[in-house]
Structure 1
Amino acid sequence: MSAALESVLEATMGSLFRSEEMTLCQLFLQSEAAYACVSELGELGLVQFRDLNPDVNAFQRKFVNEVRRCDEMERKLRYLEKEIKKDGIPMLDTGENPEAPQPREMIDLEATFEKLENELREVNQNAEALKRNFLELTELKHILRKTQVFFDEQEHAGLNSTESMTRALISDDNIARQTALGPVQLGFVAGVILRERIPAFERMLWRACRGNVFLRQAEIETPLEDPSTGDQVFKSVFIIFFQGDQLKTRVKKICEGFRATLYPCPEAPADRREMAMGVMTRIEDLNTVLGQTQDHRHRVLVAAAKNIKNWFIKVRKIKAIYHTLNLFNLDVTQKCLIAECWVPVLDIETIQQALRRGTERSGSSVPPILNRMETFEDPPTYNRTNKFTKGFQALIDAYGVASYREMNPAPYTIITFPFLFAVMFGDLGHGMLMFAFAAWMVLKEKPLAAQKTDNEIWNIFFGGRYIIFLMGLFSMYTGLIYNDVFSKSLNLFGSHWEIRNLTSKDVLDNGVLPINPTWDYVGHPYPFGMDPIWQLAENKIIFLNSYKMKISIIFGIIHMLFGVVVGLFNHLYFKRRLNIICEFIPQILFLIFLFFYMTILMFIKWIKYAAPHPINNPDVTTSSFCAPSVLITFINMVLFKSPEEKDTEGTKKNPCDPWMYGGQNGLQMLLVLVALLCIPWMLFAKPFMMMQERKKKHMQLNTHNTENGDLDGSGAVQAQGQVQGGHKEEEEDMAEVMIHQGIHTIEYVLGSVSHTASYLRLWALSLAHAQLSEVLWNMVLRNGLTQGGGLGGIILWALFAFWATMTVAILVLMEGLSAFLHTLRLHWVEFQSKFYLGQGYSFTPFSFEILLETAQATSEAAD
């Protein structure tokens, strides 16, 4: 029992640092139980099926009809959803996850959706017809009202309508001639047209009829609803007077071309009033019928809105099951389905239990069979994650999915990523803002996750809430180390510097004084972080430059060394003895003997040399005056150049020792020689050892063929031909190995230099962030603090608002994003390049949860 528990614990802990151990299985399912078993596996989400019918067209597979039925049901549900959203009815989302319905329930679902769609379409068609009648009656009502106004205006002018229109259309001579012959007969048409078409309509009438028509138009104040689209449109009423049938035909064609609607309009006022009363009565009746139709439509949609979410889930699950079943093969008897799938080894028992549940649900008596298979194919990579590690794993997978069972950088990234970010973003105040925002997202996690939104920026922030949380927390720590809070310092323990040998006049005459450790330093270090006095020192930048540049190099070399050591675990796990001897050992020696030695020199310089002090450090040789430059020492070391001892005054020798310790020159020469020897070691050792091993195998193969060969010449000739052909193929492989090893060696050697310099971005961004924060304080908020009185309070309030906005927008968001991207580069290039191949493919199990989330995101994006 204890041994089994230990093995489980070892496998679980191993999966944290490596991907899960996967196996290829063959699954035999009875046809009647296949649907229920696949449904259980979909709920479990731990099985990735392979397509066993890659050459079969999608329309020729066994369950294509069922998939089409699901597509049709999904189309009907989308139609219902569109109508529900059109009416603004909320869709009930209880958060339930109903199981996939049985195949026999598909008929009931299809009948329900068919009934709802037909009923809704019929209601919509009736409503559209009623709205069209309502629109026509409304337009007729406005025509009767407006034309009555036209005729009333002419009567008030002292002329009857016919006479006034006649005078508008015909000249005085023609009127006299026509009056002698008989009364003039004028015709007119009335209708409604879109308001924006009136100018063009009027011009066309004038040109086509040569000015022999009279047009009057008036706008309809209230917008009218288009029954086809539901849009609100503005229209105008018009009436056109003309003489003769020829003009009447021409006017009607023009009205038809401009899509104007013509309506009958009586000439007699009494007839118009009678028609208007009839129109009003019909409009009231139509309003009643329309209201009842809308109420019925609303009831249908409300009833559908209660279940539409669950219906979508059920239909999508059914469709996913049949899609998966199309990946299976049928055996010869047509009674059994055969599938192949990748499964995690630790979850085989859970998968078998799910298969048994599916068999019991289907009522089948034949149990499913799950057999492990041997394969040379690379399994998929599966890293178990939770809500905390998911974001960090996503950062790694964005660069490339790990090869199968390769060391996973995510566990180390959980610590190194926020720490390196914080080195660049070290400010207690800014880190506190970031920490507070992430803590709010973490505490309100469930309600925020329930409010599903398609805002991509918010989804990125919320998905990385734990990354932001740790980045803010680590930034608060480094902010305390730098003693930097919104470009100011915290005086927690009191300064350990004292201004001595200065009179009051000296202090008053000098606004800013450089700190001199010879006289001003008390003698013991500040308990934690930077002394607050550095905030007032003139040489603050000089001191912080040196400090941050050195720690960035130290952190970078340690980070790269750790990456090379992680690569050793890959070699040990995959039993690559040759890689350990020919790659890991020279790589680690090259990095330690050159670059890690440089960090040791930094620590020696910090420990051995100090500021000259008459009491604490009276020895000149251990003072900062005699401290050699680490960079110059390193350059001289690589160039095999010894530092020259300079004479200061004639015969008087410089008391400073150019070496930090005894025997430094000889040790440095040894280190450089070993590091240089590591380059041909990395370049030639592996191809040479591979060649020796292959020659040994050839000799064994030739000996075996000679002992077991045929006595006649044919067998010997054939064996020789085979060996020669194989030798040619191996020579090509060796050429590829040589090229690959050369590229790998050059990349590592040059990369060690460039990657070390790349970590200087920690120093550069940290200094830039601190200086930008200080500039913002001095140029904005400091001016508000110098003002007094009531006006000063108002100015301070306005400047503080501006300062706070700029702090959040520039120093937290923009600078935070910049530091995030630089930290990402340090992990992807400088750290992971030492051990991480990232040439795998991710494990994509058949999971209802993933399918439903993808479908939901797709539908929201389409909306």
Structure 2
Amino acid sequence: MGSLFRSAEMTLCQLFLQSEAAYACVSELGELGLVQFRDLNPDVNVFQRKFVNEVRRCDEMERKLRYLEKEIKKDGIPMLDTGENPEAPQPREMIDLEATFEKLENELREVNQNAEALKRNFLELTELKQILRKTQVFFDEHEGCTNPTESMTRALISEDSIARQSGPVQLGFPEKPLDPEDYYPCFVAGVILRERIPAFERMLWRACRGNVFLRQAEIETPLEDPSTGVQVFKSVFIIFFQGDQLKTRVKKICEGFRATLYPCPEAPADRREMAMGVMTRIEDLNTVLGQTQDHRHRVLVAAAKNIKNWFVKVRKIKAIYHTLNLFNLDVTQKCLIAECWVPVLDLENIQLALRRGTERSGSSVPPILNRMDTLEDPPTYNHTNKFTSAFQTLYDSYGIASYREMNPTPYTIITFPFLFAIMFGDLGHGFLMATFGAWMILKEKPLAAKKSDNEIWNIFFGGRYIICLMGLFSMYTGLIYNDVFAKSLNIFGSSWRVYNLSRGDVEAIASDHMLDPATEDYVGYPYPLGLDPVWQLSKNKIIFQNSFKMKMSIIIGILHMLFGVAISFFNNVYFKNRLSIICEFIPQILFLTLLFFYMVVLMFIKWFMYFASSDMRDLEYSTRCAPSILITFINMVLMKNTPFEDKCKTANMYAGQSGIQTFLLFCAFVCIPWMLLAKPIMIMRGRKKASAYSVQHQPITTTTATENGDAEQPMHNNTGGQQQAPSHGAHDEEPMGEIIIHQGIHTIEYVLGSVSHTASYLRLWALSLAHAQLSEVLWNMVLNKGLVAEGWTGGIAVYIIFAVWASLTVSILVLMEGLSAFLHTLRLHWVEFCSKFYSGTGYAFQPFSFEVILDASNQAKEE
């Protein structure tokens, strides 16, 4: 459990591996996931490292697998995921994998090329079939002519005459009409994309000056583009023109618009013969295309069964060679040297993994793992599980804890949902939240297997345990507040006589009646659990809950901050920082206790001493004479007397209160210069002592030189060798001016922060009241409208209005208010709690782990 309350103890180790066993040993360490390797070649280019060729081979294999995966997804073939985690293959198996992937890629590319060529031929034949069919309609329109082109000639002549008769504006027609014998019309037929027809027609008209005759018809069924596989819509066109010059111009325009031209016989018999030949070829192509697609499907189905495992194997091989590139080679080129951070408690497991790797490789030389001494700060590693990982993430996002610093996560498991529940306290809303969290926990495995790429869902699923706990704690606080969807539960009966009135009397006085414990309405015994349900009918409910929740927020907030200061004591004890305990912890705990915790004590004194009474004989201890805690505290700080009525005799809650408060205030003010000056003065005195000590005990040295001309070496005297001066922790090399400035900022921040942080906990009170009032507004303004309706219309109204109320409740009160309370709770832990002890200046332990690498690869692929 030590690693739960404090980060795991780490050590820097040096690892010696034989070249033939290095791959297998690193593979075992990757499966274990407990070793963080350091780069021993920071100045070496990545392209000049020893295993760069192996990494490139892995990149190439991964590229081929991505190509296969893309083709599999294109055909909609499910990829088998057995959930297995295959081991990293041996280096000699890379050749087999490369050959398998090369064969699959070449075969698939060849099949795709053949299929594309066949589809292109099929497209051309289909377009030709459509041309023959559509142009037959054009020719049939002029079947009265012996020669079909003669009809088109007459059409051109008629257009010419119409154009000449229409006025002086003429588009490219000759001034004199030509004889029909002077026309030698010819035509071209083709297919073009349907959306290009208008621009194509305008270009033909302008470029040919109107000396063309264009007919077009749409192809009803879409055609598949063989290159992209996209369905496109096309149209058939036929263009009649005169002369070779126009023919060249028309063909260039067709080429510019990417229209495909096809031969179209002029004679009907030739067209019918060509159409029969085209149909025969289309049927043959359909047969060949079907066989090609079947072969492609069989190849992809076979690949889909193993592609998941292939990805895992290739990524593991690549990760191993990436890690081996971080190692150094010794002078014999037979041994690899690595440096790594490892948890001390897991050294035995790491040794076993290295032994397994050596046995797998068949090496006879065992690996060597030596612990090293270093002044470098180790990484921070906190053992977590699926329950604690979500809470640990909250603090890791704020800042990674320093090495061996107190880990606040175990305490946050309780304090976080509890502070949230104070703001979100509602039995009904808490039940909805707890049910949602419990559903995600119970369906954890199937939901995790889906691997959704929805970021919001992943956030909810990652915090499922937090959501469940927040809901359960909210149910508890909702029971204390006796608040269920803005209504109360009558479990134990009321302690007020007003509860015994008839329903009509209660409804008549509900809006004006105020509950007063001093009257005869109060029976005299407290409600067993939480608030009395009759407070829902009272006019002064808000006044009562204001006082109750505000005092509760202050009490919980000050206890929470005191707990944070107490944790700093355990940090200083662990790091043997006696100076911080004397100069920081003691004045901080005194300042917070003597001022703010004293205010909490006054609250409890007031609750125990004063009571509601209408008897004038008990006026001194009645609520009328009860002093205000806030006024008393303010006057204590300002050293003023609290005013009181003459009938109350005194403003003090106990004898000698004024003197005790003056003494507490004096001690609290003394703590401020204590925090400000004590630490710099003690550091300064320690440095002076260390300087005087080093001068008095300076060792006798003689100057010597080695044969190679090395620098001077100090020679110690015979009285005990070179001794160390007293150590002063991390402040030995820090300039004195910076220490004073840092201590001044820290003191000001703590003193002012004690006031602002105490006030910040009032958000517990404010959000709790806001949530309750919003819930009441939804009940009275929405759902209550349907409940007051009578008859069959009331049933319909309730059905509709309940749906509206439920939607608003979930979207506003559960989601939006829940998010708001979550963020405020997060702020209370990050700022008000962590500022007392948490430095968060460390860096995370990032071990070489196949599980982490594979998860990161899957997430990157989904994005």
Asked whether the 8 Å contact 2:88–2:313 carries over to 1, the reply is yes
Task: Tell me whether 1:129 sits opposite 2:122 in the alignment.
Answer: no
Give the stretch that moved more between structures: 653-662 or 186-195.
653-662
Question: Structure 1: any 5+ residue segments left out of the alignment?
Answer: 1-12, 647-652, 712-722, 724-728
Deviations, residues 339-374 of structure 1 (Å, cap 9, x unaligned): 000000000011000000000010000000000000
Specify whether residues 627 and 176 from structure 1 end up closer, same or farther in structure 2 by C-alpha distance, changes over 3 A only: closer
Pairs aligned (count)? 823
Deviation, structure 1 residue 142? 0.3
Partner of 2:532 in structure 1? Answer: 531
Query: Residue type of the partner of 1:20?
Result: A
Match of 1:702 among 686, 695, 701: 695
Out of 19, 23, 35, the residue aligned to residue 23 of structure 2 is: 35
TM-score of the two chains, using structure 1 as the length reference: 0.93
Distance, in Å, in 2 between the alignment partners of 1:230 and 1:363 is 52
Q: Is the 8 A contact 1:620 1:656 kept in 2?
A: no
> What residue in structure 2 maps to residue 612 of structure 1?
613
Q: Which amino acid aligns with 1:410?
A: T
Q: Partner residue of 1:78?
A: 66
In the alignment, structure 1 residue 672 sits paired with structure 2 residue 665: yes
Distance 1:508 1:735, change over 3 A: closer
CA distance in 2: counterparts of 1:299 and 1:658, whole angstroms:
93
Partner of 1:7: none
Match of 1:479, as an amino acid? G
CA distance in 2, matches of 1:365, 1:427: 67
Aligned to 1:90: 78
For 2:806, the equivalent position in structure 1 comes to: 804
Give the drift of 1:654. 2.5
Is contact 1:215-1:238 (8 Å) kept?
yes
1:464 paired residue number: 463
1:650: which partner in 2? none
Instruction: Provide the rounded CA distance (Å) in 2 between the counterparts of 1:429 and 1:840.
Output: 42
* Cα distance per residue 1:659-680 (max 9 Å; x no partner): 1110000000111111011000
The 1:642–1:247 alpha-carbon spacing in structure 2 relative to 1, beyond 3 Å, is: same
Residue identity matched to 2:587: P
Matched, 1:153 2:162: no
SS of corresponding position for 2:752: helix
Separation (CA, whole Å) in 2 of partners of 1:379 and 1:659: 56
Q: Where does residue 169 of structure 2 map in the other structure?
A: none
Shift of 1:164: 2.8
Query: SS at 2:235's partner residue?
Result: strand
Aligned to 1:515: 515
* Structure 1 Cα separation of the partners of residues 506 and 804 of structure 2: 35
Matched, 1:551 2:538: no
Preserved CA contact (<8 Å) 1:50 1:339: yes
Secondary structure in 1 matching 2:433:
helix
Cα drift, residue 511 of structure 1: 4.3
Q: CA-to-partner distance for each residue in 1:79-102, whole Å, 9 max, x for gaps?
A: 000000000000000000000000
Find the aligned partners of 1:710 and 1:229 in 2 and give their Cα distance. Answer: 84
* Corresponding residue of 1:586: 587
After TM superposition, list the pairs within 5 Å mapping 1:333-352 onto structure 2.
333-352=332-351
Task: Give the superposition deviation at 1:507.
Answer: 6.7
8 A Cα contact 1:560 1:831, kept in partner: yes
SS in 2 for 1:381: coil
> Is residue 682 from structure 1 mapped to residue 675 from structure 2 by the alignment?
yes
Give, as a single letter, the amino acid of the residue that structure 2 aligns with 1:733: P
Does residue 168 of structure 1 match 2:169?
no
Aligned residue runs from structure 1 range 668-747, under 5 A? 668-705=661-698, 708=700, 733-747=735-749
CA distance, structure 1, for counterparts of residue 254 and residue 118 of structure 2: 25
Query: 2:839 matched to 1:837?
Result: yes
Q: How far apart, in 2, do the equivalents of 1:540 and 1:507 lie?
A: 15
SS at match of 1:266: coil
Aligned to 2:300: 301
Q: Where does residue 281 of structure 1 map in the other structure?
A: 280
Q: CA deviation at 1:788?
A: 1.2
Q: Which amino acid aligns with 1:535?
A: Q
Give the SS at the match of 1:499.
helix
**Aligned partner of 1:117 among 98, 105, 114:** 105
d(CA) in 2 for partners of 1:558, 1:732: 35
Per-residue deviation, 1:498 = 1.2
**5 Å matches for 1:390-405?**
390-405=389-404
8 Å contact 2:208–2:246 — kept in the other structure? yes
- Cα distance in 2 for partners of 1:338, 1:710 equals 38
* Pair 273,511 (structure 1): closer, same or farther in 2 beyond 3 Å: same
Q: Which residue of 2 aligns with 1:373?
A: 372
Residue 280 of structure 1: how far off its partner (Å): 0.4
**1:190 touches 1:263 (CA, 8 Å); kept in 2?**
yes
Alignment-derived partner of residue 416 in structure 1 = 415
Over 3 Å counting, the alpha-carbon distance change for 1:674 and 1:201 in structure 2 is same
Residue 748 of structure 1 pairs with residue 750 of structure 2 = yes
1: CA distance, partners of 2:644 / 2:334: 93
Residues 732-787 of structure 1 deviation map (CA, whole Å, 9 limit, x = unaligned): 71111101100100000010000000000000000000000000000110000011
Report the CA distance shift for 1:61/1:360 in structure 2 as closer, same or farther (over 3 A): same
* Residue 312 of structure 1, CA deviation: 0.4
Tell me what 2:710 maps to: none
Query: Hey, what's the Cα distance between the residues in 1 that align with 2:859 and 2:197?
Result: 46
Give the SS at the match of 1:593.
helix
CA shift, 1:703, in A, is 1.0
Equivalents in 2 of 1:837, 1:294: separation in Å? 63
Residues of 2 paired with 1:709 and 1:860: CA distance? 67
Alignment partner of 2:93 out of 99, 105, 114:
105
How far the C-alpha of 1:185 sits from its partner, in A, is 2.0
Partners of 2:590 and 2:611 in 1: how far apart? 31
**For residue 599 of structure 1, what is the amino acid of its counterpart?**
V
2:651 aligned with 1:658, yes or no?
yes
Query: Structure 1 counterpart of 2:632, which letter?
Result: T
In structure 2, the residue corresponding to 1:844 is in which secondary structure?
coil
Which residue pairs with 1:596 in the alignment?
597
Shift of 1:589: 0.3
Deviations 1:41-100 (A, max 9, x none): 000000000000000000000000000000000000000000000000000000000000
Output aligned runs, 1:762-781, within 5 Å.
762-781=764-783
Instruction: Letter of the 1:279 partner, please give it.
Output: V
Q: For residues 158-179 of structure 1, what are the alpha-carbon distances to aligned partners after superposition, in whole Å with 9 as ceiling and x for unaligned? A: 7853233223223459999755
The equivalent of 1:5 in structure 2 is none
Change in 2 beyond 3 A, CA 1:492/1:504: closer
CA distance in 2, matches of 1:732, 1:796: 72
Q: Deviations over 1:414-444 (max 9, x none)?
A: 0000000000000000000000011111111
Partner of 2:716: none
Secondary structure of the residue that 1:119 maps to in structure 2? helix
**Deviation for aligned residue 1:16:** 1.0
Q: Deviation of residue 635 (structure 1)?
A: 0.3
**1:790 to partner: Cα distance:** 1.3
In the alignment, is the contact (CA less than 8 A) between 2:499 and 2:534 conserved in 1? no
Instruction: Find the aligned partners of 1:188 and 1:710 in 2 and give their Cα distance.
Output: 111
Q: Is the 8 A contact 2:510 2:539 kept in 1?
A: no
Alignment-derived partner of residue 438 in structure 1:
437
Q: 1:709 to 1:140 in 2, by over 3 A?
A: closer
**TM-score of the pair, normalised by structure 2:** 0.93
The question of whether the paired residues in 1 share the 8 Å contact of 2:148 and 2:266 is answered with no
Give SS of 1:694's match.
helix
Contact kept in structure 2, 1:517 and 1:613, CA below 8 Å: no
Q: Contact conserved, 1:563 with 1:831, CA < 8 A, in 2?
A: yes
AA of the residue aligned to 2:800: A
Structure 2: gaps spanning 5 or more residues: 165-173, 704-724, 726-730
Query: Does 1:15 find its partner at 2:3?
Result: yes
Partner of 1:488: 487
Q: Output one character per residue of 1:458-496: Cα deviation in whole Å (capped at 9) or x when no partner.
A: 111111110001000000000000000000000001110
Instruction: Give deviations 1:483-530, integer Å, cap 9, x for gaps.
Output: 000000000011101139999998786442011211121111110000
Tell me whether 1:58 sits opposite 2:57 in the alignment: no
Q: Is the 8 A contact 1:612 1:618 kept in 2?
A: no
- Cα shift at 1:14: 1.3
| Structure 2 counterpart of 1:517, one-letter code | P
